[in-house]
Amino acid sequence: PAEGAAESVIAPALPPLLDLAGTAVFALSGALVAARLKQTFVTLSFFALVTGVGGGTVRDLLIGVRPFWLDDQWVAPLIFAVALVAWFTPRRWWEGALLEWADAAGLATYAVIGTAKALAYGVAPVPAVVVGVISGCAGGIVRDLLAGLPSILMRPELYVTAAALGAALCALGSVAGLPPAPVWSAAALAAFALRGAALIWRIELPAYSRQA
Residues that bind a second copy (CB under 8 A): 1, 34-35, 37-47, 49-50, 57, 61-64, 66-67, 69-73, 75-76, 87, 90-92, 95, 118, 123-124, 126-127, 129-131, 133-134, 137, 141, 145-148, 150-151, 153-154, 158-161, 164, 204-212
Name the phi and psi angles at 64, rounded to 5: 100, 25
Is 89 or 185 the residue whose CB approaches a second copy more closely? 89
- Whole-angstrom Cα distance, residue 47 to residue 63? 24
Is 80 or 186 the residue whose CB approaches a second copy more closely? 80
174-178: list long-range contacts, CB under 8 Å, 24+ apart. Answer: 174/116, 174/119, 174/125, 175/125
- Whole-angstrom Cα distance, residue 151 to residue 183? 30
Minimal CA–CA distance to 159: which of 92, 99, 123, 204?
Answer: 204
- Whole-angstrom Cα distance, residue 7 to residue 40? 39
Is 76 or 181 the residue whose CB approaches a second copy more closely? 76
Q: How many CB atoms lie within 10 A of CB 83?
A: 26
- Closest contact distance (angstroms) between CB of 62 and a second copy is 6
- Closest contact distance (angstroms) between CB of 181 and a second copy is 25
Is 64 or 182 the residue whose CB approaches a second copy more closely? 64
- Closest contact distance (angstroms) between CB of 33 and a second copy is 11
Is 119 or 188 the residue whose CB approaches a second copy more closely? 119
Is 82 or 146 the residue whose CB approaches a second copy more closely? 146
- Whole-angstrom Cα distance, residue 21 to residue 137? 16
- Closest contact distance (angstroms) between CB of 35 and a second copy is 4
Distances 124 to 6, 47, 116, 120, 163 between C-alpha atoms, Å: 14, 33, 11, 10, 18
CA–chain centroid gap for 119, Å, is 17
- Closest contact distance (angstroms) between CB of 66 and a second copy is 5
- Closest contact distance (angstroms) between CB of 17 and a second copy is 18
